[in-house]
Amino acid sequence: MKPYLSFIDISTFSVKERISLQKRYALHKKYEKAVNLYIDTDMSQKAIAEKCNVSLAGLGNYLRRYWREQVLIRHQIPVDKVEPGKIKIIAAGKQSVKAHEKYKDAIAACDSLTYIEFNISQIARKFGLNGTALANYMRIHYQETLVWREKVRHKLGINDNVHHGVRPECALQYAEAVEMYRESNMTIPEIAELCKVSERGFSQHLRFYHKDILKQKKRGTRKGTAEKK
């Protein structure tokens, strides 16, 4: 079979258009095997990236841009009534597509006065969810909604019995680890081991209450990578 570009008369294209077309062709060839595995197998995106020797972030971006419908199908999100381009796919490092789809109705209820008399656990049960899981998810991605609910329910004299801020004993437990993570280049597992705290608990504590530090670390990593290039 002849290469894809041989079927296109590029003689009428400008130099810029030719370069752009050639780059896109190279990009599609780079991820061709990975796309086939993504569509035809149940392999995770991470496993596919490792097998095809491509970066996980690069593969994710490519799939969301050029194979959006397949991403939605894999996450069991209906695409028959809505154009795939109109369905928001959330990038890695933020909410996952599957989690967003799972919690979105419950989140909307938590953000509505219609359900203000119900606490988070009650709302979770109404939507067939685990109350603790919903509360934890909201602490990471919808903290402002929890704060709003707390203020409104307090004014109405309603107590949902959910602690929305960091507990003093929890802050004390992870204080040394948080400071060490802020000031050093050590990883979360290394610090957790050194400070004798749970790695999972420490990671969750950072995601709940120290998003600013995580963002700074992420920006620093990107800057370092860019400088190396």
> For residue 160, is it within any domain?
no
Higher pLDDT, 222 or 13: 13
Domain identity same for 13 and 55: yes
- Tell me which H or E stretch contains 206: helix 199-209
Domain final residue, candidates 86, 114, 145: 86
Confidence of residue 1 (pLDDT cuts 50, 70, 90): very low
Phi, psi of 116 (to 5 degrees): -65, -25
> For residue 193, is it within any domain?
yes
CA geometry: angle 77, 101, 64, nearest 5 deg? 60
CA geometry: angle 162, 163, 168, nearest 5 deg? 160
Domain identity same for 32 and 75: yes
Judged against a pLDDT cut of 80, whether residue 7 lies above it is answered with no
> For residue 214, is it within any domain?
yes
> For residue 111, is it within any domain?
yes
Cβ-based neighbour number of residue 137 at 10 Å: 20
> For residue 227, is it within any domain?
no
> For residue 119, is it within any domain?
yes
Mean pLDDT confidence for 62-89: 70
Mean pLDDT, the chain, integer: 77
Range of the domain at 211: 168-221
> For residue 228, is it within any domain?
no
- Range of weakest confidence among 22-31, 157-166, 205-214: 157-166
Mean pLDDT confidence for 10-27: 78
* pLDDT at residue 6, rounded to an integer: 47
Contact in structure between 164 and 146 (CB atoms under 8 Å)? yes
Mean pLDDT confidence for 86-105: 66
Q: Of the spans 48-57, 173-182, 194-203, 215-224, which averages the highest pLDDT?
A: 48-57
Domain identity same for 196 and 146: no
Mean pLDDT confidence for 176-201: 85
> For residue 226, is it within any domain?
no
Domain identity same for 189 and 143: no
Mean pLDDT confidence for 218-222: 65
Percent of the chain at pLDDT > 70 equals 75
Cβ-based neighbour number of residue 31 at 10 Å: 20
Confidence of residue 32 (pLDDT cuts 50, 70, 90): very high
* pLDDT at residue 31, rounded to an integer: 93
Judged against a pLDDT cut of 80, whether residue 56 lies above it is answered with yes
- pLDDT, tens digit (0-9, with 9 covering 90-100), for 141-166: 788 888 888 888 877 777 655 555 55
- Range of weakest confidence among 52-56, 126-130, 138-142: 138-142
Judged against a pLDDT cut of 50, whether residue 179 lies above it is answered with yes
Domain identity same for 141 and 184: no
Q: How many structural domains compose the chain? A: 3
* pLDDT at residue 188, rounded to an integer: 87
Q: How close are the terminal C-alpha atoms of the chain, in Å?
A: 36
Contact in structure between 202 and 192 (CB atoms under 8 Å)? yes
Domain identity same for 73 and 107: no
